[in-house]
Structure 1
Amino acid sequence: MTSPRAEFAPHMEHYTFVLEDQPYVGYFQYGHEKTPVYSTDRHGFRVTPGPDGGPATVGDERPDGPHRILAGSSAVFGVGATSDAATVPARLWNAHAPRLPWLNFAGQSHNSAQELLLFTLFQHELPEVEEIVLLSGVNNLVLSRLPEEKQGRHGAFFECGPAPDVIPPPEQRVAHATELTVRHLSVWKLLADALGARLTFVLQPLAPWVREPLPRERLLFDELDEVSNFRRFHNDISTTAVGRSYAEQLAGGCAGLGVPFLDLNTALAEAAGPEDWLFIDRVHCTDRGYDLVARLLTHHLDMG
């Protein structure tokens, strides 16, 4: 019998999540990777194909002139997309916000400290930057399950060891993730101001924060739960109430920094049609989901 993942998303076999050990950021995509669904430049950043077929990359070829940046983790990288052309940066450049090229500035499984460090390490490779959109937030909350001794001073990361048997309560997890995210965002703000770039923080979507899953989505989630611990470790933060609380606290932190904020969960909930298949798993989208994310970013952030 064919599994739901093999039936509905056979391209996911090419997203292996095998990352290269890297100093400072811990791990990153391999450079010069070419699979049937994604390709990376010499540093490991995903390629964004443009309207004329030419690419925009952090480390290799790109058009002359200023660019926009979409930064974050695996959702920005585009896990779940069937091709480079289906990622959010590509849909922005090719369809919804085409005035400037978009660079995909994402490291899979990164927390907010790793996202910030990645930007500082590769800022010297960048062209003039007009806009930075940081689409993030979920990984900090997921990693908040780890105990204090694993958190250190700047937050846990995904190789800190197995999750404990006792998980902090949701309100504690939300407070911890918010503090880390806003702390690191304050440095993004300093860097963006120095570059003369507009900075926006966007809380990435998590499927249970958006709506009840479609039957196909539920089949995919259930299959993944048979081989992972997501439901066991994260049921307490997967409620709509926790998602809204996290968004409210992040919005307050962003307001204190003077950084515009958007909760994509409520935006997606309002915009998605009843039959729109949005999620491959709880964190990553389908091509339709990523295209809708790009359209909503353009609309809410006035980026035409």
Structure 2
Amino acid sequence: MSAQLERYRLTPQMRDYDEFNDAGQRRYLPHLMYFGRTDFSSPTVNTDRAGFRISTGPDGTRASAAGHVPAGPVRILTGGSTALGVGATSDADTLASLLWSRYAPARPWLNFAGHCFNPTQEALLFTLHRHLLGDVSEVVVFSGVNAMMLARLPEWQQGEHGAFFFCGEYFEKMEELREQNRGPVKRFGRRAKPAAGAAIATFDDVRRDVDTVIASAAETTLRQLDVWQRMAGPGTRISYVLQPMSRWMRRTSTPEEEVLFEERDRIYQRGVWEELYGDVATTEVSQAFAAVLRAGCEKRGVRFFDLNPVVAAATSRDDWLFVDRVHYNDAGHDVVARITAEALELD
């Protein structure tokens, strides 16, 4: 049946991403919870021994955090699956590679992104692997969508550091483990009661109001930017880029995008996009989110750029940019990489 999907006809590279992100092969890790498959090889996506995606430079040089790290200062691009390059037809067409090979080639760029990462995981990935790198001259956090999506989850799943993808599965399995270890209390002859909040979130639980979602997503993001500043050091320039997302940019889509969006809604197990995220996937909400982030970044001395209006102005409604509502095709990656380099004044 998969061979009949428009997803594979219009964007055949997504077969490799689906294999790369196969839940049956998900790589669970201490601290991070999960990260990319190691030494993954395909025509579309390739990773090193630690799971970092390969980036390529202007002369075809390949580099990655746990593989070949070029001498001298490096730049890193971090974030979730959009920064990782999901949707690109090859490693050479990701944002990190396009910055290195075409739009900001003065120093190498390493892909430091993780699929389905929240702001805490983005920072923690760098914390756990900082020892692999020498001097880091630039950090670009290219993110935002995941923070907003995860801020929709109920308060009891947020914890101190924000909710994470698949946390329902995590809480469910941890409750099973607690249940296995509960025994009768000898003194009273009764079993211990389950911990409060040990239920799995329902759709109704997720309906936090939009203002709460924005505040929660921004607080988690800004707190982790403090961590980035401390870990990267005073000599590293840090920028936060609010990633362009289809519904944050514009209300219309190309015919190809509409086919892919509709099919994604039909086969996506967690539900229809508009029902899950429609109220936070608007230009008005993205502008409100950007305003809070901008103010917080200014206080921290972190450069902030909202690329949604800029990319929207640089493209037309006829430009096919997305393979789904969040990830870009090659044309999308190219225009976003170019505008990122221009906005950040990268050389």
Bin of the TM-score, shorter chain as denominator length: over 0.9
Give the fraction of aligned pairs with identical amino acids, expressed as a percent.
Answer: 44
Cα deviations by residue, 1:83-117 (Å, 9 ceiling, x for unpaired): 00000011011110011110000111010011111
Please tell me whether the aligned partners of residues 145 and 163 of structure 1 are also in contact (alpha carbons under 8 angstroms). no
- Give the counterpart letter for 1:14 in structure 2: D
- Looking at structure 2, the residues matched to 216 and 281 of structure 1 have their Cα atoms a distance apart, in angstroms, of 10
Residue equivalent to 2:182:
none
- Tell me whether 1:265 sits opposite 2:308 in the alignment: yes
**Aligned mate of 1:281, from 317, 320, 324:** 324
Written as runs of structure 1 = structure 2, the 5 A alignment for 1:286-297 is: 286-297=329-340
Q: Match of 1:106, SS?
A: coil
Over 3 Å counting, the alpha-carbon distance change for 1:180 and 1:163 in structure 2 is farther
Residue equivalent to 1:174:
214
TM-score by length of 1: 0.96
- Give the counterpart letter for 2:343 in structure 1: H
Over 3 Å counting, the alpha-carbon distance change for 1:85 and 1:163 in structure 2 is farther
Radius of gyration: which is bigger? 2
**Aligned mate of 1:191, from 231, 234, 246:** 231
- Give the counterpart letter for 1:204 in structure 2: Q
**Aligned mate of 1:7, from 2, 6, 9:** 9
Cα deviations by residue, 1:5-48 (Å, 9 ceiling, x for unpaired): 12210110111213300110000011111012010011000000
**Aligned mate of 1:200, from 239, 246, 263:** 239
- Looking at structure 1, the residues matched to 37 and 59 of structure 2 have their Cα atoms a distance apart, in angstroms, of 26
- Could you tell me how far 1:220 is from its partner in structure 2? 0.6
Cα deviations by residue, 1:158-216 (Å, 9 ceiling, x for unpaired): 1211553241111111111011111111111222334x111000111211011121121
- Looking at structure 2, the residues matched to 70 and 222 of structure 1 have their Cα atoms a distance apart, in angstroms, of 31
Please tell me whether the aligned partners of residues 67 and 103 of structure 1 are also in contact (alpha carbons under 8 angstroms). yes
- Looking at structure 2, the residues matched to 68 and 141 of structure 1 have their Cα atoms a distance apart, in angstroms, of 26
TM-score by length of 2: 0.85
Q: Match of 2:240, SS?
A: strand
- Looking at structure 1, the residues matched to 202 and 249 of structure 2 have their Cα atoms a distance apart, in angstroms, of 26
Q: Match of 1:302, SS?
A: coil
What 5-or-longer segments of structure 2 have no aligned partner? 169-200
What 5-or-longer segments of structure 1 have no aligned partner? none
Residue equivalent to 2:139:
132
Residue equivalent to 2:150:
143
- Looking at structure 2, the residues matched to 49 and 36 of structure 1 have their Cα atoms a distance apart, in angstroms, of 14
Q: What value does the CA root-mean-square deviation take over the aligned residues?
A: 1.4
Question: Larger deviation: 175-184 or 222-231?
Answer: 222-231
Residue equivalent to 1:241:
284
Please tell me whether the aligned partners of residues 146 and 164 of structure 1 are also in contact (alpha carbons under 8 angstroms). no
- Give the counterpart letter for 1:262 in structure 2: F
- Looking at structure 2, the residues matched to 115 and 274 of structure 1 have their Cα atoms a distance apart, in angstroms, of 32
Task: State the aligned residue count.
Answer: 303
- Give the counterpart letter for 1:186 in structure 2: D
